[in-house]
Each structure stands twice: as C-alpha cells, then as structure tokens.
Structure 1
Amino acid sequence: MSEITRVGVDLAKSVIQVNAVDADGKVVTNRQLSRDKFVPWCAQLPAGCLVAMEACAGSHHWARKLMALGLNVKIIAPHLVAPYRLQGKGGKNDANDAAAICEAASRPTMRFVPVKTTVQQGMLCVHRLREGLKEERTASINRIRGMLAEFGLVASRSPDKLREKLTDMLEDAGNDLCGLARLVVQEDYDHWKDLDGRIKWCDERINAHVKDDAQAKAAKELMGVGPVTASAVVATVGDFNQFKNGAQFGAWLGLTPRQNSSGGKNSLGGITKRGDMYLRMLLIQGAKSVVMTAQKRDDPISKWLYQLREKSGWQKAAVAMANKNARILWAMMTKGSRFDPRHVSVNPAGAATATT
C-alpha cells in the first residue's frame, strides 16, 4: 500500500472498483471492494494519496469520508473520463472505468468538481423537491383538463383561470359531468392544492436561505435573478474562485456557443448546454423577464439588451442576458462587490495601453 500514489475509484450501489498505481504509473492493484470495506482499505493508503472518482450519486459523501482520512480527493465529471477509457465504448466495465478515472486524474490540465458540503447538498435537496413537485402539479392540472374535456368542459390555459372555473364546474348539475367523474376531479383538485402547499414550504426554506446567506442575498440584487436562482447558484457552486474568470463560469453553465472551427475558419452554433441544466434554466427563465421589460429602464444593460432584442430576437437576447448575469455573478462573488446596473467595465489591458 505504501507504493500507491494515485487511485481511481468507480462507485456503484453495492460494490466499488479501485485501480491503484505507483509513482511510475504501474498498476499495483485493480480490485473490487464491498461498500463496508472501502473506507478501511483507503485508510491504509499513504497520507496525501490522490483518490479520484466520477461525479455521481454518493460521490460527495465518499469524498468527505476520504478527506477526513487525510487523502487528496478529486471528483471528475463523467464526460471528461470517457476519452481515457482505452477500450472505448465497447469495453465499458468497472475495472476499465476505474483505470480510466485513474488516468484522467493524472492529467495536469484536468478540471475537477469541488466537493460539496452537507449544507450545500441539503439546500439542493430542497430545490430538487420543488422541481419534482412542480412537475407533479403540472401533470395534475393537465390530467384535470383532460378529464373535463371528455365531458365537453374546457377552460383557458391559465391555471388560475382553471381554478376559478373548476368549483363552478363541479357544482353545476346542468353539465354532463357524471357523479363518479366529479369525485375523481375533486380528488385530483385536492391533490393539486396539496402540491401548492408543499411548494410553498420549499419556497419558505429557499427564502430563509437567501435571507441568512450573504452571497445569496447579494446575488438576488441582479436583474432576472430571484430568490430561487440566487439560492440555487450559491448552493451549487459554493466557491466561485474555482473559475479563473466570468467567461469560464459562463462556459461551465453551458451558455457559450458551440464551436466547429477548423483551418482558421470560425463556425459557431447554439449554446453547448453543458453543466448544470437546472441552474442554466433558472438563469435563462429569469433573463426572459428582463428582456421583455428592457425598454422600461434606462441603465446601460437594459439599453444594450433592448438593442440586441430588436436585432437578434428575444430568445437570443435572453441567453445573452443569462450569460452576462453569470459573468456578473462571478465578479460579485470573487470580489465581494455589490451589483451596480450602471457599472461600466474597463479592460485592464486597454487601460494600460491608453496610459502609456
């Protein structure tokens, strides 16, 4: 065990595959361990030994366990590991995956996922629950609409309009809705109201997080960033210093154009959609409201946004605004500054050139 300098770990529900190499990259062992034997095996590794694993369910839990043992733990995104599997797609198994993780961790330019704290993961659990409840609520509303339509009862698309008419529909004895159908719709309506209450509970937890967390409170000041987005971005990212600049943070969120360039000819497509889909969705949805009301404000960002909307359309403008918000968030969190809609950025290189 003293010869081991780097370990690649492939996590699973019941078994864990480890691939350990020495300083020369020679494989010392590639074996399978049960969950209860994994930590005792890692406890025998030399202090500071690099242990790498893919980002997956449970990876942050195991990372915290191993860091407590004095090991250097790194988490790698799965799509960055796949190219290092020598056997390709046709040779995917636990042993090969562990070897690929071990090899990927040795690359000097490899990017790693910061280990999340239990507090961060707890807050993200609230967000996941809220999104799941929203999906259930949408399904319940659509189900109610479908059942009413079978009896010739139709309401406008707005959930609020449906709620206003639903009670009258259920109490109107003159429509074709039969007794059993009325009971079923009423049951689903009660489920809808219960989901609203549970979503409200999640919103209360999120608002409390924004109120108590200085970073989330600062993020909420941005245009197009509400409590949900502010809470999610702080809980997801944690330390913004892991990104060297705002552009890298925007690229990590998948808000930058996809490239297919070669021979000096640049070819840009739609956004890459990499990174956290939930966080990207929140930023874009919030940016849409800013785009639609840009003409009502006179700050530099709104003027730029209005011109971009007229030139390229509101959808591209919304994505551009989401990317700008991501860059502003990085600057605010790394420099400890407050949001100023009238702030004018200065390129340090340009300023130095002008001075000389």
Structure 2
Amino acid sequence: MVEVSMIGLDLAKSVFQVHGLDAAGQVVLQRRLRRTDVIKFFTKLSACVIGMEACASAHYWARTLSELGHEVRLIPPAHVKPYVKRGRKNDAVDAAAIAEAMARPHMRTVPIKTEEQQAALMLHRVRRLLMSQRTRLSNALRSHFAEFGIIEPAGDGGLSQLITAALDMPGTALPQPAREALALLAAQWRETSAKIDALDQEILAWHRGNADSRRVATIPGMGPLIASAIVATVGDPGRFKTSRQFAAWLGLVPSQHSSGGKTVLGAITKTGDRYLRSLLVVGATSVMARRGKKQGTWLAALLARKTPRQVSVALANKMARTAWAILVKGGTYEETASATVT
C-alpha cells in the first residue's frame, strides 16, 4: 500500500472516488470504490487526513472513518467549488478539488455532528416539511371553498371550523363531487396537523432533556423550538471566537462592499443555516411586538429610527449573540445577560 497522507473523498450513493496525496503533495492514489468496499479500503490504509464535502451522508462517513483512526474534515461545498477545474465535471475531478481545498491552511471546516444532534435536527427538518405541506393544503382548501362562495375566517382555527361546518354537517350546499374532493384534502390537512403536533411534543421532550437547550430558552423570544435547533445545529460553540463570528455564521450581519478605506455596509449576508436564521427572526418579531412600545429601551430607540424588519433582524442578531455567550460561558439569561434584550 502506497504511503498516503491526505485523501479527497467524493461521496455518492454507490460509487466513491478517492484522490490521495503523499506528504509532498504529489498524487499517489486515484481509485473508485463501491460503497461496500469503502470501509475495507480505509481499514487497511494507514491513518491519514480525509477530506469530504459536507453533503448528504457526510456526517455518517465522518464518524465511521474517524472510528478507524483517520482524521476527517468536512468542507462546505461552496468552498470546494473554486478548486474544481473548469470545463470538466466528474467524480475524479471533484475528489481532486476536495484534496486541493483541504490543503489550504485557512480552509474552514464543518464540525462532525453526533447521532443525537442529527436525530434532533431530523425532527426539525421533518416538521418543516410537514408545515410546508400543511400550508399548501390550507391554501388549496381556501381556494376551492371560495369557488363556491364559502369564505373561511383567518387562521387554522377558522379553517378547522369551516371544514366541520361545510363537510361534516349534512345539508351543506356543495355538489357531491366537490364534497368528496374537499373531504380528501381536509382529511390530509387534519392528519398533517396531528403529525406536526406529535413532532412538537418530541422536540419539547428533547429540549427538556438537554441542559444547554433549557438555558438558551431563558432568552426572551426563544422557546423550545428555537433553543433546540440552535443547540443541535451549533454543536461546539467554542469553535466561534466571538459572538459576532457566530452571528456572521448565521448570516445576521451586514454584508460589506468596501474599498479604498471606505466602508460600505449593505443588507445581511443570509449565509449559513436559513432555517435557524428564520426561527431567530420570527422569535425576535414576537419580542418586538410585546416589548417594542416600552419607552426608554434599546428596542424602542431602534424602532424610532429603523423599519420594523430592520429592527427584528437586529434583535435576532442580538439574541444569537446572547445564545452564544450562554453556551460558551454557562449560566442562564437572567444570571449572565439580564440587560441584553430589554
């Protein structure tokens, strides 16, 4: 077996591509592996550094290969793309690009998630999917009812009342074919709502069993949903040197277009986890609605000169920074940051 110090591994469903370099950076190994041969190959290989894109199944393979004694680094796909040779796109080129990106001294990597973290995030991802499906079902029901002049009150409660009145009660002036079609949509909507409620209970149970999540939830505007998502997504908060770096990772800081010593700040970057960022903005909006009219506070002063959306994003940034401080330094919101959000 050749002496390999660094490997770029391109992941796939069935066929994996290996691109190996020696200590001098010379290519010494290029090989395709079937999925069933991956563990056998790396078991025989001496310990080395393995780079992979942080994509589907990457965290599983990172844990598996780490258990074999290798050092695994996950690189964001966006950071690998600049190293892909132009005009060519195949597994071998992708693996070579991963190896080259991994060799950069300042390349940022993604922390390897544990099975517990992935399980918690899976609850959130499934809930998000079902929420999207329920919204589509709600819109379809409202549109179809409107075709017969039936307009329901706003909100899920109003839609539920209308479904009961229009479909479950006899004598409603709806043609039979329409009644049957709408009954199918209504049943699907109710079933989806029940599944979302069940997921909410699972997330709440995970939150109650995690000390970090409970401490983050003491921040105003952060309930079990947001707190559990932050803790499961971030993993080790110590990898961020400052709270601003954490907020920047979430895409909650202004973008910069600066040159010649002149600093120009624009809209937020919107990088990082879109789901987590949206949860923080929604939580900040709820805080703004409850506390925005309280005079003499930072929030009221900001609302006096900025638009509500700008204020909600700024508050989301502040909440993220407070969460980082609590995760890194310990304690709760009341004990360590009682004046952060007023």
TM-score band by shorter chain is over 0.9
Aligned to 2:56: 57
Tell me which of 309, 314, 317 is aligned to 1:320.
Answer: 314
- TM-score of the two chains, using structure 2 as the length reference: 0.94
Distance 1:234 1:140 in 2: 31
Tell me which of 107, 126, 129 is aligned to 1:132.
Answer: 129
Aligned to 1:43: 43
Q: How does 1:63-212 map to 2 (within 5 A)?
A: 63-85=62-84, 87-88=85-86, 90-170=87-167, 171=169, 173=171, 175=173, 177-212=174-209
Q: Deviations over 1:42-98 (max 9, x none)?
A: 122222x1000000110000001100001000000001111122x23x322211111
Distance 1:15 1:244 in 2: 38
Q: Deviations over 1:91-139 (max 9, x none)?
A: 2221111111111111121111111111111111111111111111111
Q: How many residues align?
A: 338
Is residue 276 of structure 1 aligned with residue 265 of structure 2?
A: no
Identity over aligned pairs, percent:
43
Aligned to 1:348: none
Is residue 329 of structure 1 aligned with residue 323 of structure 2?
A: yes
Matched-pair contact (CA < 8 Å) for 2:318–2:340: no
Distance 1:239 1:158 in 2: 39
Distance 1:248 1:12 in 2: 32
Aligned to 1:20: 20
Distance 1:272 1:42 in 2: 39
Q: 1:297 Cα deviation (Å)?
A: 5.0
Aligned to 1:252: 249
Matched-pair contact (CA < 8 Å) for 2:294–2:300: no
Aligned to 1:352: none
List alignment gaps of at least 5 residues for structure 2: none
Matched-pair contact (CA < 8 Å) for 1:9–1:17: yes
Distance 1:276 1:174 in 2: 47
**What do you get for the CA RMSD once the two structures are aligned?**
1.7
Distance 1:294 1:178 in 2: 49
Instruction: Give the SS at the match of 2:161.
Output: helix
Question: Runs ≥4 in structure 1, deviation > 6 angstroms?
Answer: none
Instruction: Give the SS at the match of 1:25.
Output: coil
Matched-pair contact (CA < 8 Å) for 1:2–1:46: no
Matched-pair contact (CA < 8 Å) for 1:331–1:337: no
Distance 1:193 1:264 in 2: 58
Aligned to 1:9: 9
Q: 1:162 Cα deviation (Å)?
A: 2.3
Matched-pair contact (CA < 8 Å) for 1:210–1:231: yes
